Structure 1
Amino acid sequence: MTDAAHDMVAKRAERLQAGLKQRYAKERRFKLYGILAVGVAVAFLLLLLGRIVEQGYTAFYAHSTTVPIYMDPERVDRAYPAGTNFNLMVAEQQLARFGIADDAQGTKATEMRGLFSSELKFQAADRIKADPSLIGKTVPITAPLSDDADLYFKGKISRDTPADQRRLSDEQIDWLDRLQAEGLVRSHFNGGLFTKGDSTEPELAGVLGALVGSALMLAVTALLAIPIGVAAAVYLEEFSPRNRISALIEVNINNLAAVPSIVYGLLGLALFINWMHLPRSSPLVGGLVLALMALPTIIIATRSSLKAVPPSIREAALAMGASKTQTVFQHVLPLAMPGVMTGAIISMAHALGETAPLLLIGMVSFVPGVPTGFDQPTGALPSLIYIWENASERAFHERTAAAILVLLAFMIVMNAAAIVLRRRFERRW
């Protein structure tokens, strides 16, 4: 072989080596870009979650006080104890105990009364109602502190802040410090957050009413959307003829899955409330609207699961003499059930977090109680979060973050259940 041929082979080998190095370098860069993309996504997710936890963890504990109240016979209404102004009695007695004289307008008593929640009044009234013999005696009553006093003990109201920029005066802060020094203030888990409904007072507000409302809505949604969605998907995938009509239906189902949720809210307002006159703000209407929104997702997921079943299963069943209906419902659908359940659970989790449709059907109103039926006015966790975030009291903002954490916990549980069911029952072909 001549020197020219050797040189040509060497140059070609060099070019091949250079090309290989470039391809390997591109592959390494692509992997690096992928790792960076995942890292950025995880970082933003952790930042969001960390911010929510930072704002909301303080809502899971609260401060209460135990104060002695002299049940003055001249001021306690024996016939109707709840009509007695126990908060003012406590304020005046605390001022007297601190050796502080009030002015003619009762300014200091008003400031002292602002440190205690209105729950104190109901606690005292219940004690008198249960045992009228307590009138004329000194009775210790335990009740939550007001929202501002609670925020002070949580460090969200500071004495260093200028007085005109905080809702507690220097004197009120001194009184709180004195109550704490006397051991009358204690910190405890805020069980009321999960056992009470909404309230205009932040320290008494809870998510129970919204939780029950969301559960009732999801029950209506699941009872309607899952059977109808699965049945429609089975018919479209296994029984319907392949013609222009079925193709048009398939295209429209895919389009409905991309329709903004607020459009479903407008549809629910026009159809279920204005035309059918169903009760506004009820779990029934909310569940119907969410069922309409969940149907396309369930149909698409079910059809995908049915397509994933190998044709050999159908052919074997038909060869053994099974009818078309027996083949679908006794062989194909059971094998596709993990995907069907996954799609249904994910659609339910998506419906749980929807806010816009609920606002349009009236679930943005204040509902203090806990619903006991499908036709009663109620709230839902997403709408409760919206209401609390727009409230003027600062203490509602920490409860907003806490409600978000509760909603995220429910969605994580539902998505985890979908993953577990899929992995538990999934069969690989």
Structure 2
Amino acid sequence: MTDRNTQAEIIRQSLKRRYRKERRFRAYGILAIAIALSALVVLFVDIIGKGHTAFIKTTVTLEVDIDPEMMYLDDATDERQLRMADFVEPLVQALLREVPGATEANRDAVRDLLNPYASNQLRDALKENPELLGTTQTMTFLTHTNVDVYVKHAGDEDYSIKLSDRQQAWVDQLLDKGVIETSFNDVLFSRGDSRDPSRAGILGAIVGSLLTMFVTLILSFPIGVAAAIYLEEFAPQNRFTDFIEVNINNLAAVPSIIFGLLGLAVFINLFGMPRSVPLVGGLVLTLMTLPTIIISSRAAIKSVPPSIREAAEGIGASKMQVVLHHVLPLALPGMLTGSIIGMAQALGETAPLLLIGMVAFIVDVPDGFLDSATVLPVQVFLWAGSPELAFIERASAAIMVLLAFLISMNALAIWLRKRLERRW
């Protein structure tokens, strides 16, 4: 009886130890998930904290006297006179009337409150509508970047305020009067890059990314699916196909910068294609995403039950008909999911595009596949390396937009998988 009790006690102690190990293992898993979620929270809080102000712009609204004598302009339709006219003076005079206590002796300090490109805005308005010459117009201009930083970051130790005490007092007074206001920064989504942070936008990078992704999609998806169908359904099992399969799996793990070197050597140096264009960028990203699409497409084809093939062949369907009419439609949801994930990976790539010249400073929004362009990740890279802190908040805002694209694409992949997949 004693031996039986002793044996039962040993079993109970063994079970207790096993249960403790299971609880510890479960606790380690929960801790790992908590650490990962905490890291994500810290990342998003940091990005949003630095970038949310980039969605706000600071503007000044002035009553501008478009005086011909002040601008030395007689005919607003004369291109030569427009090039030689003084479009700064009307803006300075309008701002002097609004700034309390400012005189002609302070004109340089007052002029520094305006964006350097404000005169171009006045010139373009007059060029578009010559009838404005000799009239007084209410116009809204962007403020200088230093004013924008002061309005949005006054008191923030991470930002150095470059306005003098007198200029800061003027800005505070103009804010109280409503002459200087803040509003949603539509410039961020309506312009390309600029040397001036307050005028810098991501439209050019967004269009460049869309053009590059379009080239990548129309090339990588059909080629990847066709390669997967051939390898899985038609290719004979021999050393050659084994060699291809091994290399496809290896290519999926190759660093992306290698594909950039390949694109530089082949597409640019060998074929003489232009640098920094969406076509070359799309070709490079196609090479990078093909292994991912092929692997995911083969996995989707393998998931189709053999009974589907056997039933189709039993009623006389050819091999091609079995694949195109039965296997491919059932495997398509998995193929689409893998392709979208591969495209999302390509959208966030920077290294291969840097090597083909898409790191260039591009102001204009591209109109086609052969126009010079940049992409969102490269735009973030450029702004993050800028010495001006005003560009850092725009880099963070561009990251937020890029993350929104990536999350949307992954959400689409998940929705397609849930919506279209079939369980056997």
User: Could you state the TM-score of these two structures normalised by the residue count of structure 1?
Assistant: 0.93
**2:247 alignment partner in structure 1:** 252
Q: Is the 8 A contact 2:149 2:161 kept in 1?
A: no
The equivalent of 1:407 in structure 2 is 402
2:62 aligned with 1:67: yes
User: CA, structure 1 residues 11+208, in 2 after alignment: closer, same or farther (shift >3 Å)?
Assistant: same
1:100 aligns with: 102
Post-superposition CA distance 1:176-203 (Å, at most 9, x none): 1121122101211111111111111111
Residue in 2 that maps onto 1:116: 114
User: Aligned equivalents of 1:83 and 1:61: distance in 2?
Assistant: 34
> Deviation per CA, 1:137-178, whole angstroms, max 9, x where unpaired?
433221111211111111x244x9799x53211121112112
CA distance in structure 1 between the partners assigned to 2:318 and 2:94 by the alignment:
85
CA RMSD, Structure 1 to Structure 2 (Å): 1.9
Partner residue in 2 for 1:306: 301
- For 1:314-353, list aligned pairs within 5 A: 314-353=309-348
1:40/1:113 Cα in 2 relative to 1: closer, same or farther (>3 Å)?
same
Aligned 8 A contact 2:337 2:414 in 1? yes
Instruction: Give the Å deviation of 1:91.
Output: 2.6
2:204 pairs with one of 200, 209, 213: 209
Task: Tell me by how many angstroms 1:93 deviates.
Answer: 4.8
Q: Distance in 1 between matches of 2:296 and 2:171?
A: 58
- String of CA shifts for 1:353-397, please: whole Å, max 9, x gaps: 000011110011111011111111001001111111112222111
Following superposition, the deviation at residue 68 of structure 1 comes to 2.0
The residue number in structure 2 matching 1:385 is 380
Contact 1:63 1:144 in 2 (8 A): yes
1:87–1:116: 8 Å Cα contact kept in structure 2?
Answer: no
Q: Distance in 2 between matches of 1:229 and 1:389?
A: 35
Tell me which of 110, 113, 125 is aligned to 1:127: 125
For residue 357 of structure 2, give the secondary structure of its aligned residue in structure 1: coil
> Per-residue deviation at 1:123?
2.8
1-side partners of 2:317 and 2:65: how far apart? Answer: 84
Deviation at 1:229, TM superposition (A): 0.6
1:222 is paired with a residue whose SS is: helix
Is 1:86 the equivalent of 2:87? Answer: yes
Structure 2 vs 1, CA of residues 272 and 131 (structure 1 numbering), >3 Å: closer, same or farther? closer
Structure 2 distance, partners of 1:47, 1:349, is 23
Answering whether residue 13 of structure 2 is matched by residue 12 of structure 1, we say: no
Structure 1 pair 137–334 and aligned structure 2 pair: CA distance change class (3 A): closer
**Any conservation in 1 of the 2:58–2:151 contact (CA below 8 Å)?**
yes
CA contact (8 A) 1:282 1:377 kept: yes
Match of 2:140 in 1: 142
Q: Are positions 1:358 and 2:359 aligned together?
A: no
Equivalent positions of 1:150-189 (< 5 A) are 150-154=148-152, 156-158=153-155, 166-189=161-184
Offset at 1:39? Answer: 0.8
Conserved 8 A contact 1:120-1:142: no
Give the deviation of 1:421 after TM superposition: 0.4
Measure, in 2, the Cα distance between the counterparts of 1:183 and 1:100.
17
Deviates more, 1:14-23 or 1:43-52: 14-23
In 1, Cα distance between equivalents of 2:127 and 2:212: 38
| Alpha carbons of structure 1 residues 186 and 83: separation in structure 2 relative to 1, 3 Å | farther
| CA distance in structure 2 between the partners assigned to 1:181 and 1:309 by the alignment | 69
Separation in structure 2 between the aligned mates of residue 130 and residue 308 of structure 1, nearest angstrom: 62
Alpha-carbon spacing, 1:185–1:324, altered in 2? closer, same or farther (3 Å): same
* Residue identity opposite 2:421 in structure 1: E
- SS of residue matched to 1:74: helix
Which residues of structure 2 form unaligned runs of 5+? none
Question: Partners in 2 of 1:102 and 1:215 — Cα distance?
Answer: 50
In 1, distance between residues paired with 2:245 and 2:108? 67
Query: C-alpha distance in 2, partners of 1:162/1:289?
Result: 39
Residues 82, 11 of structure 1: CA spacing in aligned structure 2 closer, same or farther, 3 A cutoff? farther
Residues 273-319 of structure 1: CA deviation (Å, up to 9, x unaligned): 11111111000000000000000000000111111112222222222
**1:185-237: CA deviations, max 9, x gaps?**
12111111111111111111111111111000011001111100110011011
Structure 1 residues 81 and 317, CA gap change in structure 2 (3 angstroms): same
Cα distance 1:182–1:383, how it changes in 2: closer, same or farther (>3 A)? same
CA distance in 2, matches of 1:199, 1:12: 80
Structure 2 vs 1, CA of residues 183 and 336 (structure 1 numbering), >3 Å: closer, same or farther?
A: same
Superposition deviation, residue 20 in structure 1: 1.2
The farther-off stretch of 183-192 and 67-76 is 67-76
User: Within 5 Å, which residues of 2 pair with 1:367-386?
Assistant: 367-386=362-381
1:238-275 C-alpha deviation (Å, 9 max, x unpaired)? 11111111111111001100110111001101100111
Q: Relative to structure 1, is the Cα distance of residues 210 and 43 closer, same or farther in structure 2, using a 3 angstrom cutoff?
A: same
- Return the offset for 1:86: 2.8
TM-score (norm 2): 0.94
Query: What pairs with 1:198-277 in structure 2 (closer than 5 Å)?
Result: 198-277=193-272
DSSP-derived class of the 1:75 partner: helix
**Which of 179-188 and 235-244 deviates more?**
179-188
State the shift of 1:347 in Å.
Answer: 0.4
State the percentage of identical aligned residues: 50
Deviation at 1:30, TM superposition (A): 1.1
| Displacement of 1:71 | 2.5
The one of 405, 414, 427 aligned to 2:422: 427
Deviates more, 1:297-306 or 1:81-90: 81-90
By how many angstroms is 1:127 displaced? 3.4
CA distance in 2, matches of 1:162, 1:196: 27
**1:83 to 1:210, Cα distance in 2 relative to 1, 3 A:** farther
Distance 1:404 1:56 in 2: 8
Is 1:38 matched up with 2:33?
Answer: yes
